[in-house]
Amino acid sequence: MPTRRQFLQQTAATAGLALPNFPLPVDAAESNLSLGFSLYGMKSLPVAEALKACAEIGYHNVELPLNAGFPTEPGRLSAADRASLRESLGRHQLTVSGLMNNLSLVVDDAAHAKNLEHIKIAAEFAYELSPGAPPILESVLGGKPAEWGALKERMADRVRDWARTAAENKLTICLKAHVNSAVNSPERLLWLHAQAASPFVKLCYDYSHFELQGMEMEATLKPLISETRFIHVKDSAGDAKKVQFLLPGEGRTDYAQFAKLLKQSGWRGPVVVEVSAMIFNKPGYDPVAAAKQSFAMLAQKLGFNPEMRR
């Protein structure tokens, strides 16, 4: 049985794709990180092509976007498409770490009902992809920062409905803070999480949204990590009034500190690159080049060992 590294070298050679040469830190063998790439940043590629590229680069897992218009939107996938997706994941030794669907708690009753249906559909898809270890569903939460006081109780009611639907379908939902949403801080995220009061509602951590507001990494990660089940990573520039998202390593994020804090916390889950729409919508964007660049930097900084399997 070939090792993960041998498999990657063989497939990369076949495709003419060189793996990045990077020095792994001394403690890389102790890393429990599972480095992934969100196919949110590969909207322009057919799914099979995106999975092949991610595997050849060295990623262990992928996040699949269920958003309208994306190749993995469930309604666009026939039974044959889903079988092909499972086959491709197995052939490329990739797991699905998460499902993305940008729902919102700040919607009218009709849209809220549709969101609950989306959660049910996501659960069916999750168990179809991996019956024994279904991926989580993660979502931002809607609203604007200045509206928090007026919206928080309504959002709490909505998130309790999400929690009930998630429990009925045995799906974990991870709530994500966003710099431009009503839930934009660890404190607000934890308050909303507490209102859900459900083992099926956890958190998604993405430091870029806090960094843009001038918040320190340790002060945001430590209170959230115990309830976090999914991590997005990207870089940032600017501030909350002038948001600019970047690929990992292109901004000011201190990844050495990030790696240290994750190790101290005992994190054993996925760290998944998310390429912002403000990047992938630019003319000339190359999704494979973005995935390669992100992997090369993060694998070194986070002590990720490509030979390790989760």
Kindly state whether residue 236 falls inside one of the protein's structural domains. yes
Going by pLDDT thresholds of 50, 70 and 90, the confidence category of residue 33 is confident
198, 149 contact by CB (below 8 A): no
Q: Is residue 205 packed enough to be buried (19+ CB in 10 Å), middle (13-18) or exposed (0-12)?
A: buried
> Residue 284 to residues 35, 44, 139: CA-CA distances in angstroms?
26, 12, 28
Residue 227 CA to residue 220 CA, distance in Å, equals 13
Kindly state whether residue 308 falls inside one of the protein's structural domains. no
Q: Return the bridge partners of 204, or none.
A: 176, 230
Domain that holds residue 252: 4-9+31-282+293-301
Kindly state whether residue 16 falls inside one of the protein's structural domains. no
0.85 exceeded by the pTM? yes
Higher pLDDT, 144 or 301: 144
Which CATH number goes with the domain that contains 216?
Answer: 3.20.20.150
Kindly state whether residue 18 falls inside one of the protein's structural domains. no
Kindly state whether residue 24 falls inside one of the protein's structural domains. no
| Residue partners of 300: CB distance under 8 A and separation at least 6 | 22, 23, 24, 25
Q: Which helix (H) or strand (E) holds 219?
A: helix 217-224
DSSP string for 134-149: PPEEEE---S-GGGHH
Per the structure, how many domains does the chain have?
A: 1
| Residue partners of 3: CB distance under 8 A and separation at least 6 | 307
Would you state the pLDDT for residue 213? 97
Kindly state whether residue 25 falls inside one of the protein's structural domains. no
pLDDT surpassing 70 at residue 27: no
3-state secondary structure of 244: strand
Kindly state whether residue 15 falls inside one of the protein's structural domains. no
User: pLDDT, tens digit, for every residue of 59-115?
Assistant: 999 999 999 999 999 999 999 999 999 999 999 999 999 999 999 999 999 999 999
Kindly state whether residue 306 falls inside one of the protein's structural domains. no
